[in-house]
Structure 1
Amino acid sequence: MLTGSMAIGTASPSISAIAEGQSAAYRLFEIMSKEPKIDITDTSGIVLDDIRGDVELNNVFFRYPARPEQLILNGLSLHVPSGTTMAIVGESGSGKSTIISLVERFYDPQAGDVLIDGINIKSMKLQWMRGMISLVSQELLLFMTSIKDNITYGKEDATLEEIKRAAELANATNFIEKLPNAYETMVGQNGAQLSGGQKQRIAIARAILKNPRVLLLDEATSALDVESERVVQEALNRIMVGITTLIVAHRLSTVRNADCIAVVHQGKVAERGVHDDLIKDPDGAYSDLIRLQQAHTEETPEMPYVASSRFKSTSLSLEQSIRDSPRNRRQHSSKSLGLSRSDDLFRHVASREEHLEIGDSEAPKEAPIGRLFNLSRPEAPILLLATIAATLHGLLFPSFSIMMSGGIRTFYYPADQLRKDSTFWALMCLLMAIISLVSIQLEFYLFGVAGGKLIERVRALSFQSIIHQEVAWFDDPSNSSGALGARLFIDALNIRRLVGDNLAVLVQCTVTLICGFGIAFASDWKLTLSIIGVIPFLGLQNYIQLRFLKGFGEDAKVMYEDASQGVAEAIGSIRTVASFGAEKRVITLYSQKCQASMKQGIRSGMVGGVGFSFSNLMLYLTYALCFYVGAQFVHDGKSTFQNVFRVYFALVFTAFGISQTSDMASDSTKGRESATSILAFIDRKPKIDSTSDEGIKLEKVDGTIEFNHVRFKYPSRPDVQIFSDFTLRIASGKDYCTCRREWKWQVHSNCFAGAIL
């Protein structure tokens, strides 16, 4: 009974972990069991040999599920004949982008039909249908991988030749081949290492590789500068010929060449026609939009965005471009499209494998546990009470050795004495049970409260430090949003366990160790010294186990952060994933990242299992030595029966308490590593500190800006010289724009080059 009770007690610290696991499993199973209303894995549905690309929305009513009170489309009807270009314009919030989402079947309308070639897209096989459509949007997202891998999301089994031809059609070849690693160049998180125009051209190459029948352009150039827009427009014009194209545009001057322009107002098509006909009606919706834009912006010449189906050029599909010779292709491009040979001067990207001189040069130092207690100083009264409760808990096991030895000794007394002494020891056990009930509950509750408050404080300080870091710090892949989010969540949770449950067990075991040895030495110091030799081996085993788990924990931490980044990236770009049918691909990539952490977890479990088994070996070895040596001492008259049992129980419970710390080894290792990581965030001084009070404060600022012989390289791209002896003066009150054309600087109005900003 005693051994069984001790086994139950050993399992009690794991109850909190089981509860957390059940809670997490419930949420996971809830997500796993959810049936999607629009299922990409559904293999049923119509699959045509080919489609013409005739798109129609028939009396469509739609509300977003997140905003059921707001009607977005109110009986909208729109027909886009095969091979034509339809521009959709209107005020913000009129439902333009919603039309694109419905054609891609990101959502289903509440009423009405969306048809392709006269067939309701609900009856089509979803994966096949999306394979016929390409989407290029304003808020495009590139995955944190190479340029080549990003382009192959359009066609997973594409050859390098197909990738290069798609990049050439997208006007991306020039800048890609100038990069240090060309198509193997890593683009960074969300393509942060590239300019807006470069990202857009890669997205266009991805769309070209898909060889679509329907092309959807959702304000694809609205966020670009003039030069980047011009290059992207040329690329779009090349691929839109002969393809059904729907364009959502904000700037009306970019859609003048469309075959048809539809003006959407309050969820309906208010007006439609070609540009020349629509502007003839001064009271029309299209004319109102033109006047509204002219009232807010000055008209500047803009290159037409749209290639009409009447545009006289041979089709430049991917298949034909591969058959064409390079010479003919260059001649055709030069004559019919007037391509520029210029490219961005200041946008280069280094390989991810190149050395990054962004973070601190020194390795993170070991986190002193005292720092954590210093952060927990406001909870000092709570920790004091928790320590007292843990001390009482730690005294229980050694004290129980006195009662057990005394209780066993009473069985050798006469009947009257037996009844009296057994009642006394039984009452002592009852008292210990009451003390145990109160102290253990208080111990874990109070340590839990202190740990919870520490989590809140640590996360706040870490986030405060993160948002004040210089921008270059975030260029490091290890400081991506997914990795930082994982650290803020997981590291703080590990610290809470370290300062909460593990600290409670540590205090308890320390008290048990001191009190147990004290009772054992007081009872029979000779016997205690004879069998105490196994205790150092137990401590050595715990130390070795901690060292092994530390190495595993550091590797697992990096793997979990990498997997978390993959999840954040896939969810953040879910429309891109869905549009290109890349669900299986991102799942495979995530599974591969999880496989590495799973194997690491298996190795960690094996080490932990060996350590725990060795702890139990030492425990039973203590039993054996105590009985054997104790019997010899009693036989030789050097000790008494009661003292032997008192030493036995004192050392057994002490060894049992120490063996419990092996359960803490994994959590303790994770907690220390997490403390190191979190404190590194909190302590890191940004190289450009916006909170610093140092520096000159001018009484009056007139706004004059000067660059005097500036040399500059991005920290993440130390091999690319951005500015070399750059000098520029911007006078007060003047509007300047810096832009490159033919390798020279020119001055215009209303904008700045990104590197100068």
Structure 2
Amino acid sequence: MYTSERQLSRLRIAYLKAVLSQEIGAFDTELTSGKVISGISKHMSVIQDAIGEKLGHFTSSCSTFFSGIVIAAICCWEVSLLCLVVVPLILMIGATYTKKMNTISTTKMFFHSEATAMIEQTISHIKTVYAFVGESSAMKSFRENMEKQFQISKGEALVKGVGTGMFQTVSFCSWALIVWVGAVVVTAGRAKGGNIIAAVMSILFGAISITYAAPDMQIFNQAKAAGYEVFQVIQRKPLISNEAQGRKVTEITGDIELRDVYFTYPSRPEKPILQGLSLSIPAGRTVALVGSSGCGKSTVISLVNRFYDPARGEVFIDGHNIKDLDLKFLRSNIGLVSQEPSLFAGTIKDNLKVGKMDADDQEIQKAAEMSNAHTFVSQLPNQYLTEVGQRGVQLSGGQKQRIAIARAILKNPPILLLDEATSALDTESEKLVQEALETAMQGRTVILIAHRLSTVVNADMIAVVENGQVVETGTHQNLLDKSDFYRALYSMQNLEAAPESSTTISKSKSTHQGDSTDEAKLSEKQRETQINPMEDSELKGQETRKRNIFFRIWFGLKPREMAKIAFGSAAAAFSGVSKPVFGYCIITIGVAYFDPDAKRKVGYYSAFFSAIGLLSLLSNTIQHYFYGVVGEKAMANFRHALYKGVLRNEVGWFDRSDNTVGSLTSRIISDTALVKIIIADRMAVIVQCISSILIATGVSMYVDWRMALVAWAVMPCHFIGGLIQAKSAKGFSGDYAASHSELVALASESAANIRTIASFCHEEHVIMKAKTSQEIPMRKYRNESIKYGIVQGFSLCLWNIAHAVALWYTTILVERRQATFKNGIRAYQIFSLTVPSITELYTLIPTVISAINVLTPAFQTLDRKTEIEPDTQDDSQPERILGEVKFEHVKFNYPSRPAVTVLDNFSLQIEAGSKVAFVGPSGAGKSSVLALILRFYDPGAGMVSIDGRDIRGYNLRWLRTQIGLVQQEPLLFNCSIRDNICYGHNGASESEIVEVAREANIHEFVSNLPDGYNTVVGEKGCQLSGGQKQRIAIARTLLKKPAILLLDEATSALDAESERTIVSALKAINLKEDSGLCSRTTQITVAHRLSTVINSDTIIVMDKGKIVEMGSHSTLITTGEGLYSRLFKLQSFDESS
């Protein structure tokens, strides 16, 4: 047991190390997060089961079998010779069975990985799923996958039943032949009856052992398929290796040159990205790349970082081809800040130290101050020790971006790559960070990508990239003079030239902070809710009675499934009956060898054995097929119910540290697999064992009641041993299972953030973290294994004592003539053949108990009562909402950070059809306002209402169909562009899809792809640029035609031309009714680019969870010294140029 855990610990680390050593292109095509999670959880679990207890059991069984053959050969070589005839036949059946099962297992592994990827994708995109009411779509896809697995499992159950039945048939027919040959040998006088009995009994016990080894073969087949998937990754040679094999020069100065570079992404080889791009960047210079989305700017950064190699052309640094340089050395000299910041679960300090693992607190604080992150970090209760949550979920987009910038600054590299590094920052933060970056950029070579030209005007050189080539270069002023393209970009973004909206009467009203209102429909007392994330009701909902879990695993089975269980149980009972009956017959045959008419009597029993063999084929087929089908159905039902239960929980539940993407995915996929194991594998055998024990008791009582009573008198020895084993088995669950969830979460996070890990050469730290996570459970497992081994030995000791007592008492009965030798030995043999069933029963009990312990968290998740019910009944539900939104004295804290107040006594009214924009520094609470409108969270105090009605009174899923959301970080699903646009609106026609794609300025790009709208975007949209993903996300929202449109930095990833097109499209959105009337959509925008909000009816300036200014653009700009006016001036090109 301990050895298997040690081996698996090494294998898990080797697997994770192999994953982290692969080139980035592998994650675009092969190594999805789902596959990584499946590999390190489900596949490893199967392998451990095979090389642990099952391998030991199989080795012991084979040893007993071959020992029996040797002893039989010594006693009577003619009888043992028959085994040479039988064994090849059994091996042939086994080979055919193994081949069939391997094929089925491989196919199931594929669908299993696909299901894992579905769940991982849905949970990691949970806000998008909820916002677009995609739960039913996710459940439908998962249900279809489960149905495919179910159909495959039906074939698997049939093959298993027929295979096992054939094995039993051949075994019984072989016994018929062996005992008949023994009779012939005895009749011919070539051997004595005693020798034949000894030979037959030796073969018997060997055969029993090999029979009990048959289930182990099934586990080995599954492990073989799982091992193939695991070692396929471990043995895969990366196209770009990070092993130390290249040159390490003394110093990197930063001279960069790309010579005639051609490149296509591995996942889309038919779509060229770079087409002969050449660019030379002298050391210490700052070069900015500008151009439309998808033109190849970010690809240049990926090639310099050597995430990919060009198809043609070369990339040089300091005159060295980067292919000749050591990869880790190269990346250690390059700092990267990506458009979508990737943070790791842990503290802010941990994330900053990714840039420099040996950095002290002073260095960390200095880097944070340079990135303008120190201010908000120092205001947190735990400051730099604040947990950011998985993928930084506890921080706003701007806060995450500043942490990422600080991380890159801390690295202090000679080459700095900034891919839209300040796109998520508010104007004031951007100015401060930009100044810090300009200081940090001094003496470094910098490649800067930005759509905001305000961030590139001071670059030493600006390169205009179009269609994969550099078409123009020059300084900002030079390009304004000679480049029509650049001049057009500049004109679009010049705020001083933008038409200012005329002064309008605000359609939005704000009540003063702290004022009371007569319009409140609920008293403050009624509206107050506890900020504490762990409600008493939730605690009650999580109280799962473990004693009932066994009965609950038969989840959702219908009467016809229970009927199948009844038939399967009857077949299993017959299989169990065959054992004591066989024991009775074999001794009768042994006695018959001393009879002169041995050949005739033994011939009768030989025919009887053949009949039992044929019936065993039928019974095993029925047993394994019905139990297998029902077990798969119960597992699928439970998985479906658990997945559905997970998707009913509020967003705050997913923010908790114990509900990471990896742990929840493992809970839904790996833990629920135990349901099938218990039903299909364990229950059938338990029925067999019980049947054997009951029939053996009855037959032995009939043969000799005294011997039967003695057999039952020593039965407590087996009971005691079994109970001790069961108690010892508990040590292998609980904390041990939780520790592997931690490793699964780490692997999932690593696969999702692989670019960040590769860029910062963070692989070794991840491996060390993985090893550390295994240390405590390894020590625990070692101690539990020692105890389990002692208990196992003690149990076997009791088993032998029981045999010795039974055999000794048999001799006493015969000696006292209270029983004949024939009946005494019959009763003993029946007892002997039944003891393995008793032993197996006690072996199964601990595994079932362990499985129930592992399933407990899954049932707690299923039983949990969500704090925000998505399916409340609403009899007064309107046909649509008008779009009036009102906040009344709202106080809000995120459940994961109850000590930090995000919104403080916040009051605001937004009229239906108005256009309202929120601006202000990062972390001011702007995005939290949108989250409350979508009811991702409920306020701690106060009320949010829509159309004068508390949003808690609406059916939540219906309400979300009325609200559209475009997030700051566009999240796409691993399916086609068409499916992503239609997400949450599956009934859309092709013309509607094309129409919204045109409005989002993405249609032309999609039409030029080889597969058009059928192009798969890859995991998290990895096949598309940031701007392309954002435009698809916008098209998805436009198709929804919402009454309320929420735009959270919707255009931050777009180039200027696309942004202007999108802004124009958003202005024209109307909600059309069947009556032909139109009402304006309420648009609520969060933006840092003021060019996107100047035409709003009302602009709300927020700071520290409160409204500090409010009015139209023209009104706010005339105040002179307000926060909005200051932000506006910071973005004015007239000042910057």
TM-score by length of structure 1 reads 0.86
Extract unaligned runs of 5+ from structure 1. 302-353
Q: Alpha-carbon deviations, 1:661-681, whole Å to 9, x = none?
A: 344345323431343333333
Q: Is the 8 A contact 1:356 1:476 kept in 2?
A: no
Q: CA deviation at 1:694?
A: 4.3
**Corresponding residue of 2:258:** 57
Q: Check 1:145–1:389 CA distance in 2 against 1; reply closer, same or farther (3 A cut).
A: same
Q: Alpha-carbon deviations, 1:27-46, whole Å to 9, x = none?
A: 2222222222211112332x
Q: CA deviation at 1:730?
A: 1.9
Residue 145 of structure 1 aligns with an amino acid whose one-letter code is G
Extract unaligned runs of 5+ from structure 2. 1-202, 502-530, 930-1082, 1088-1101, 1107-1137
**Corresponding residue of 1:399:** 581
**Corresponding residue of 2:653:** 473
Q: CA deviation at 1:83?
A: 1.7
The CA distance in 1 between the partners of 2:432 and 2:680, in whole Å, is: 59
**Corresponding residue of 2:206:** 4
**Corresponding residue of 1:411:** 593
Q: Alpha-carbon deviations, 1:68-100, whole Å to 9, x = none?
A: 111111000011222222111222221111101
Matches within 5 A, 1:62-81: 62-81=263-282
The CA distance in 1 between the partners of 2:794 and 2:845, in whole Å, is: 13
Q: Is the 8 A contact 2:567 2:626 kept in 1?
A: yes
Does residue 1:371 correspond to 2:552, yes or no? Answer: yes
Matches within 5 A, 1:377-456: 377=558, 379-413=561-595, 415-416=596-597, 418-456=598-636
**SS of 2:249 mapped into structure 1:** coil
The CA distance in 1 between the partners of 2:906 and 2:494, in whole Å, is: 37
Structure 1 residue aligned with 2:232, among 30, 40, 47?
A: 30
Structure 2 residue aligned with 1:751, among 1076, 1082, 1086?
A: 1086
Structure 2 residue aligned with 1:15, among 210, 213, 217?
A: 217
The CA distance in 2 between the partners of 1:397 and 1:446, in whole Å, is: 22
**Corresponding residue of 1:333:** none
Q: CA deviation at 1:743?
A: 12
The CA distance in 2 between the partners of 1:741 and 1:112, in whole Å, is: 44
Matches within 5 A, 1:112-261: 112-261=313-462
Q: Is the 8 A contact 2:924 2:1105 kept in 1?
A: no
Q: Is the 8 A contact 1:135 1:579 kept in 2?
A: yes
Residue 285 of structure 2 aligns with an amino acid whose one-letter code is T
Q: CA deviation at 1:657?
A: 0.3
**Corresponding residue of 2:978:** none
Q: Check 1:463–1:13 CA distance in 2 against 1; reply closer, same or farther (3 A cut).
A: same
Moved more, 360-369 or 734-743: 734-743
**Corresponding residue of 2:703:** 523
Q: Is the 8 A contact 1:56 1:114 kept in 2?
A: yes
Matches within 5 A, 1:485-496: 485-496=665-676
**Corresponding residue of 2:759:** 579
Q: Is the 8 A contact 2:286 2:460 kept in 1?
A: yes
Q: Is the 8 A contact 1:54 1:80 kept in 2?
A: yes
Q: CA deviation at 1:299?
A: 8.0
Q: Is the 8 A contact 2:538 2:866 kept in 1?
A: no
Q: Alpha-carbon deviations, 1:372-399, whole Å to 9, x = none?
A: 2242335334323322221111111111
Structure 2 residue aligned with 1:668, among 844, 848, 865?
A: 848
The CA distance in 1 between the partners of 2:323 and 2:1105, in whole Å, is: 47
Residue 304 of structure 2 aligns with an amino acid whose one-letter code is V
Q: CA deviation at 1:288?
A: 4.7
The CA distance in 1 between the partners of 2:854 and 2:734, in whole Å, is: 9
Q: CA deviation at 1:144?
A: 0.9
Q: Check 1:175–1:679 CA distance in 2 against 1; reply closer, same or farther (3 A cut).
A: same
The CA distance in 2 between the partners of 1:610 and 1:588, in whole Å, is: 33
**Corresponding residue of 1:547:** 727
Residue 217 of structure 2 aligns with an amino acid whose one-letter code is I
**SS of 1:280 mapped into structure 2:** helix
**SS of 2:553 mapped into structure 1:** helix
Q: Alpha-carbon deviations, 1:687-709, whole Å to 9, x = none?
A: 11222224752456332222222
Q: Is the 8 A contact 2:291 2:464 kept in 1?
A: yes
Q: Alpha-carbon deviations, 1:453-472, whole Å to 9, x = none?
A: 33332222222221221001
Q: Check 1:666–1:627 CA distance in 2 against 1; reply closer, same or farther (3 A cut).
A: closer
Q: Check 1:357–1:620 CA distance in 2 against 1; reply closer, same or farther (3 A cut).
A: same
Structure 2 residue aligned with 1:357, among 513, 529, 534?
A: 534
Residue 235 of structure 2 aligns with an amino acid whose one-letter code is S
Q: Is the 8 A contact 2:465 2:472 kept in 1?
A: yes
Q: Check 1:749–1:34 CA distance in 2 against 1; reply closer, same or farther (3 A cut).
A: closer
The CA distance in 2 between the partners of 1:203 and 1:751, in whole Å, is: 21
Residue 552 of structure 1 aligns with an amino acid whose one-letter code is F
Q: Is the 8 A contact 1:270 1:285 kept in 2?
A: no
Q: Is the 8 A contact 1:491 1:677 kept in 2?
A: no
Residue 473 of structure 2 aligns with an amino acid whose one-letter code is R
Residue 36 of structure 1 aligns with an amino acid whose one-letter code is P
Structure 2 residue aligned with 1:719, among 899, 906, 917?
A: 899
Residue 700 of structure 2 aligns with an amino acid whose one-letter code is A
Corresponding pairs, count: 700
**SS of 2:1085 mapped into structure 1:** coil
Q: Is the 8 A contact 1:549 1:607 kept in 2?
A: no
**Corresponding residue of 1:42:** 244
**Corresponding residue of 1:285:** 485
Q: Is the 8 A contact 2:372 2:429 kept in 1?
A: no
**SS of 1:479 mapped into structure 2:** coil
Q: Alpha-carbon deviations, 1:502-549, whole Å to 9, x = none?
A: 111111111112111122222222222223233233223323322332
- The alignment's C-alpha RMSD in Å is 3.0
Q: CA deviation at 1:586?
A: 0.7
Residue 85 of structure 1 aligns with an amino acid whose one-letter code is T
Moved more, 684-693 or 665-674: 665-674
Q: CA deviation at 1:686?
A: 1.6
Residue 558 of structure 1 aligns with an amino acid whose one-letter code is A
Q: Check 1:509–1:95 CA distance in 2 against 1; reply closer, same or farther (3 A cut).
A: same
Residue 286 of structure 1 aligns with an amino acid whose one-letter code is Y
Does residue 1:89 correspond to 2:89, yes or no? Answer: no
Residue 74 of structure 1 aligns with an amino acid whose one-letter code is Q
Q: Check 1:743–1:583 CA distance in 2 against 1; reply closer, same or farther (3 A cut).
A: closer
The CA distance in 1 between the partners of 2:628 and 2:692, in whole Å, is: 21
Does residue 1:613 correspond to 2:793, yes or no? Answer: yes
The CA distance in 1 between the partners of 2:311 and 2:342, in whole Å, is: 29
Q: Check 1:387–1:291 CA distance in 2 against 1; reply closer, same or farther (3 A cut).
A: farther
The CA distance in 2 between the partners of 1:675 and 1:554, in whole Å, is: 10
Moved more, 114-123 or 381-390: 381-390
The CA distance in 2 between the partners of 1:741 and 1:610, in whole Å, is: 64
Does residue 1:691 correspond to 2:871, yes or no? Answer: yes
Q: CA deviation at 1:183?
A: 2.0
Q: Check 1:451–1:742 CA distance in 2 against 1; reply closer, same or farther (3 A cut).
A: closer
Q: Is the 8 A contact 1:627 1:648 kept in 2?
A: yes
% same residue: 35
The CA distance in 2 between the partners of 1:389 and 1:229, in whole Å, is: 73
Q: Check 1:424–1:755 CA distance in 2 against 1; reply closer, same or farther (3 A cut).
A: farther
**Corresponding residue of 1:335:** none
**SS of 2:653 mapped into structure 1:** helix
TM-score by length of structure 2 reads 0.58
